[in-house]
Amino acid sequence: MLANLRSGPLSGWRQLLTLQTLIGYPSPITNSNGKLRETAWLDGLRGLAAFLVMIYHFNITFWNTFYVEAPFGSITIPDEKLGLPGGWQLWDFWRLPFLRLWMCSGHAQVSVFFVLSGIVLSWGPLGNIQAGRGEKVLESLGSATFRRWVRLYVPCFVIAGWEVCEMWVGWRDMGVVGRRGSFLAQFWDYLQANERFANPFLINRDAMNANHGYDWTMWTIPYEFSGSMLVFVVLLAVSRIREYGRRTMVLGGVVIYACLRAEWNFWLFATGMLIANYVRHAGGFEELTRNTSKRLHVTCIVMLIVGMLLAGMPSHSQFYTRPGYEWLRSIIPSNWLEIEGGTRFWWCWSGILFIFGACHVTGIRQFFEFSFMRYLGRVSYMLYLTHRIVLNVAGSTLRSVVYSFIGRKDVIDDNAEDGTILHPLFTFMGYIVLLSALIPMCLIVAHWTEMGIDKPSTKLARRIDDWFIGSPSREVVHQGENGSLLPSHTDATTQAAADIELLHTTNSDTVAPTSAR
């Protein structure tokens, strides 16, 4: 009888409710030779960046939004219009440097995404340029350019469509969109919002025209598209330049000009290209590390530390002071001051310094090669697009329950300045409960939407490309299909061949194996 119970319905449910089935980790598919490609760490870094963006959005929802980014020792500033009394000093331990990366480094993670995109999208073409395979460069750039719009925007359309339904049935506030007289009218408004959001002719985006009307979290995607187009155009321009020094002059010129013009997203994408060019010339990440001098190694460690410090740079704000950070504002170029109070300048440097430093340090790369990091990389695009849905649908009810138990009303740190010694303890307990419930939910949704939305959109882009050229693509393997936020969906059986074909692939987006995103 015991054997029957083990093989009965309960056994089937246990198999369905495994961690692997629910969130897709650990992956049931592994590389047959057990060896990761040296670029796998880029996917792990991308995954952690998407995870920290999610945590930041959680934090500005749970905690007092006005003060989440305030640094240790900051003094709050009164605001009569918003009813903020101000005048108290903030000594929460998590506001300290490095610790604050968990709470408020979401801004800097966008810089990580964009630098990674520059590396990822240029990795394959630069290899072909070095080898003098001009025809393959053109073929890969043509395919990547043709597919990019579909791959970036189709998942956004699907997610935004779900949010239209959420709004219509009353699961969330309509916000600035407003409720239309009928669902058909609402759907038409949604289509118009999609068109404005994904307009391919609107290349140079800003804070006013990058948002999707139904989901502000997607604001980075138009920047991703325009940055990708810059990468493809510049790669086309340098496709005949095989000499490393001259190619570096062109790429460096683009980087410098974009920085001087405060075109922050183009600066990051171009810097990613420049880093990829540098690493390719060195023979890859492993060879680069072997040839790194002790002095450069120490310099790169310093870059990593400075990059992490700058990732915790608080936004310029009228609601709090910034002890320890305010002096940095005085050395920001004047034309950057119009971009988020100039803080975006330092967030960009954060991503650049950290990634360049990591290119030389084996231990950092190995950390991002851990299986869970690569798993986060695989689901990173859907984690980025869907976590706000989970936070809205499940998080609102969960917050109400947890807040009632710990005696909070609007935010988890209500009345912190007047609380007893038990106040921070209950706050911490409530925060852990919220994260323990919401993070698994977000991973479950990210995994299943990656399977149901992300992979099909990849296939759709390929099929459209194949249909228009009249034959299946001759690309050897599709790896790192999508750039910084997007996963790769390479079939596991091709991994061994992919390692060999890395320098010969015609895919402009080459970077990572299936298990790494």
Q: DSSP states of 182-224 as a string?
A: SHHHHHHHHHHHHHHHT-TT--S--TTTS-BTTBGGGGHHHHH
**Calpha distance 239→109 (Å, rounded):** 30
CA 352 → CA 40, 116, 195, 358, 469, distances in Å?
A: 18, 9, 32, 10, 37
78 SS3 class = coil
In 3D space, the residue among 119, 122, 125 whose CA is nearest the CA of residue 139 turns out to be: 125
Q: Which helix (H) or strand (E) holds 271?
A: helix 264-282
**Calpha distance 264→476 (Å, rounded):** 34
Whether 275 and 312 have beta carbons less than 8 Å apart is answered as no
The answer to the question of residue 3 being in a domain is no
The answer to the question of residue 8 being in a domain is no
Whether 495 and 514 have beta carbons less than 8 Å apart is answered as yes
**Calpha distance 97→282 (Å, rounded):** 34
Residue entry with tokens 């988020």: 340
In 3D space, the residue among 509, 376, 442 whose CA is nearest the CA of residue 43 turns out to be: 376
Whether 129 and 247 have beta carbons less than 8 Å apart is answered as yes
**CB contact burial 389-402 (16+ within 10 A = b; e otherwise):** bbbebebeebbeeb
**Calpha distance 275→122 (Å, rounded):** 10
CB within 8 Å of 389: residues ≥ 6 apart: 159, 162, 163, 166, 445
In DSSP terms, 422 is beta-bridged to: none
The answer to the question of residue 83 being in a domain is yes
Whether 202 and 209 have beta carbons less than 8 Å apart is answered as yes
The upper half-sphere exposure of residue 284, i.e. CA atoms within 13 Å in the direction of its Cβ, equals 12
The answer to the question of residue 45 being in a domain is yes
The answer to the question of residue 101 being in a domain is yes
**Calpha distance 386→439 (Å, rounded):** 12
The answer to the question of residue 291 being in a domain is yes
Whether 72 and 90 have beta carbons less than 8 Å apart is answered as yes
Amino acid sitting at position 280: R
Helices vs strands, H then E, count in the chain = 21, 0
Whether 247 and 241 have beta carbons less than 8 Å apart is answered as yes
pLDDT value, residue 38: 84
Amino acid sitting at position 119: I
**Calpha distance 284→297 (Å, rounded):** 16
Q: Provide the greatest CA pair distance for the chain.
A: 78
Cα 42 → chain centroid:
11
295 SS3 class = helix
pLDDT value, residue 9: 54
The answer to the question of residue 398 being in a domain is yes
Domains of the chain: total? 1
pLDDT value, residue 502: 30
Averages of pLDDT over each 10 residues, the chain, 517 residues: 50 64 73 73 97 97 94 93 86 95 96 97 95 92 95 96 90 79 93 95 83 91 97 97 97 98 97 98 95 96 98 95 94 94 97 98 96 95 96 92 91 74 87 97 96 94 91 49 45 31 32 32
Domain that holds residue 343: 30-501
* Predicted structure pTM score: 0.89
The answer to the question of residue 253 being in a domain is yes
Token pair for residue 191?
A: 């289509």
CA 196 → CA 53, 183, 201, 212, 222, distances in Å?
A: 25, 20, 10, 8, 10
**Calpha distance 113→491 (Å, rounded):** 24
Token pair for residue 225?
A: 């598209």
Q: What is the CA radius of gyration of the chain?
A: 24
